[in-house]
């Protein structure tokens, strides 16, 4: 559900940029920015930030599920082979 929302926001942001970019006043810069050109640059930068974050959300994997599975495998292995070594050396578990 989250990926669908991110994908729809990504497509909407792309459409907004393609619609607005030709209409934004980007005149030549003669050393100083006027207000309209400054607004255009800030708006474009913010739009690219939104597009990038939504694209990252769509492409990214669910790391919490991967980490949880790795921890389960690791704890199972820990119980199999490290526990007897700790008992042989005389280590005790703390009972906190």
Task: Tell me whether residue 37 is exposed, middle or buried, using C-beta atoms within 10 angstroms of its C-beta: 0 to 12, 13 to 18, 19 or more.
Answer: middle
pLDDT in tens, 46-96: 999 999 999 999 998 666 665 666 666 665 555 555 555 555 556 666 666
Per-residue confidence (pLDDT) for residue 89, from 0 to 100: 59
Contact (CB, 8 A) for 56 and 7? no
Contact (CB, 8 A) for 3 and 57? yes
**CA distances (Å), origin 20, targets 14, 35, 40:** 10, 17, 10
pLDDT in tens, 7-47: 999 999 999 999 998 888 877 666 666 788 888 889 999 99
């Amino acid at each position: 559900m989250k990926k669908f929302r991110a994908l729809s926001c990504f497509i909407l942001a792309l459409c907004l940029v393609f619609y607005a970019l030709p209409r934004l006043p980007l005149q030549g810069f003669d050393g100083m920015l006027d207000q309209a050109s400054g607004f255009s640059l800030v708006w474009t930068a913010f739009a690219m930030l939104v597009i990038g974050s939504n694209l990252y959300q769509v492409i990214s994997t669910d790391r919490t599920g991967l980490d949880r599975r790795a921890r389960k495998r690791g704890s199972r292995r820990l119980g199999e082979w490290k526990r007897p070594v700790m008992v042989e050396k005389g280590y005790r578990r703390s009972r906190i």
